[in-house]
Amino acid sequence: MAKRILYVDPASISTGWALFENGKLVSSGTVAVDKKMPVFLRLYHIYKSYKKLRLSPNEIHIEQLVRNTHIYTHWSVSVIALSMFRRNVQVDADVPIASWQKFTDWKGNQAPLKNYKRWVRSEDELAAIGMGLWHTARTAESGIGKKARRRK
């Protein structure tokens, strides 16, 4: 069975997402709303947009929110998680900002993201891809999620 992991760069105006299957990027996108809309309508639009995507991930990994993150961003994380809610979906806000940004050289030339920059629709989408690349590399190096070999 394929392992499908969704990575999300959360926000209340524009969120980016990237879906990886077995460690490979299969699709990505941006959900953007008009910032002039009332916050609850924006959150509803984000919820409906993610619901329509029908991504069916096994896991959702969201960028960790720092202490001073606006409350609307916290709410957007909730509606995104709810939109993907189904049985046996693991949701974690466990992607450290500093770690994935260092891995992708986010504040530099962004070499690991060079091939993706040509076709992404937003910086939020690129960030979600960067999170996925970081997490995939991290889990591959550590052996997380791999079956252990049996001793003979």
- For the chain, give the mean pLDDT: 88
From 78, 5, 97, select the one nearest 39 (Cα to Cα). 78
- Sheet with 24-32, edge to edge strand ranges: 24-32, 14-21, 4-9, 59-63, 90-95
- Number of neighbours of residue 43 by Cβ within 10 angstroms: 19
Contact partners, residue 48, CB within 8 Å, separation at least 6: 83
**pLDDT tens column, 19-29:** 999 999 999 99
* 49-63: average pLDDT: 90
Q: What is the pTM of this model?
A: 0.87
Please report which confidence band the pLDDT of residue 1 belongs to, taking 50, 70 and 90 as the band edges. low
* 105-121: average pLDDT: 93
pLDDT value at residue 81: 85
* 79 vs 63: CA distance, rounded Å: 15
pLDDT value at residue 92: 86
* 139 vs 107: CA distance, rounded Å: 23
pLDDT value at residue 148: 45
- Number of neighbours of residue 124 by Cβ within 10 angstroms: 23
* 8-31: average pLDDT: 94
